[in-house]
């Protein structure tokens, strides 16, 4: 019997290139699917956060209700102070839900609002109103610039309304300006929440 001679051929380059192409395709698909899942996951988280934020906030609703209930009555110092405190709490709620810490500024605004009812001189009260509204406007502007760029016009109007509250005019002469400020702030907060 004669032995059969078997020649071993080397790996063909075409098979090697085909194998590398298939391997590259598999790796690409694995990473593309993983990235797609990450993107989908991030989009879902963003949508969930947005729907959570856009549910009506109870503190915002309480402020809006307070303002609408007091729209026909005259604002005295205690109701103005209460309105400023409710506005500060509503802003605090929206800022917490959006991930911004405005606590130090909101605490300063609350101090001015509380100080109004203790002040014996009327000009001190209007100065405190103006300081509180300026601080609250800045807080709302911070939120608007970060999360709600489409609301820039309303924030500008709100800041102009705050600037119209003159510390030199006694509180009874400022009722229209204060009511206008509260109305614009309520509109802005409703759009943010």
Quote the pTM value. 0.67
Residue with tokens 């605490």: 107
Query: What angle, 0 to 180 degrees and rounded to 10, lies between the N-to-C axes of helices 122-147 and 175-192?
Result: 20
Q: Which are the contacts of 191, defined by CB distance < 8 A and separation ≥ 6?
A: 148, 151, 154
| Cα gap 125→118, rounded to integer Å | 9
Angle, to 10 degrees, between the axis of helix 58-69 and the axis of helix 175-192? 150
pLDDT given at position 85? 92
Q: What is the pLDDT along the chain (193 residues), one digit of tens a residue?
A: 566 666 556 566 676 677 777 877 777 777 665 554 444 444 444 444 444 444 457 888 888 888 888 766 566 777 888 889 999 999 998 988 888 889 999 999 999 888 876 655 555 577 888 899 999 999 999 999 989 999 999 999 999 999 998 888 877 777 888 888 999 999 999 888 7
């Amino acid at each position: 019997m004669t032995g059969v001679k078997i020649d071993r051929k080397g790996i063909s380059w075409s098979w090697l290139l085909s194998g590398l192409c298939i391997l590259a395709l598999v790796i690409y698909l694995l990473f593309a699917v993983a990235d797609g899942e990450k993107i989908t996951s991030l989009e879902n988280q963003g949508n969930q956060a947005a729907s959570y934020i856009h549910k009506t906030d109870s503190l915002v609703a309480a402020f809006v209700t307070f303002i609408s209930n007091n729209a026909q009555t005259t604002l005295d110092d205690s109701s103005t102070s209460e309105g400023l405190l409710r506005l500060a709490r509503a802003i605090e709620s929206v800022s917490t839900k959006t991930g911004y810490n405005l606590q130090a500024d909101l605490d300063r605004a609350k101090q001015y609002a509380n100080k109004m009812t203790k002040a014996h001189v009327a000009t001190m009260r209007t100065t405190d109103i103006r300081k509180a509204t300026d601080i609250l406007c800045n807080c709302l502007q911070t939120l608007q610039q970060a999360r709600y760029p489409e609301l820039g016009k309303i924030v500008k109007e709100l800041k102009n309304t705050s600037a119209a509250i003159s510390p030199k005019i006694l509180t009874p002469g400022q009722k229209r300006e204060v009511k206008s400020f509260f109305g614009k702030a309520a509109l802005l907060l409703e759009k943010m929440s």
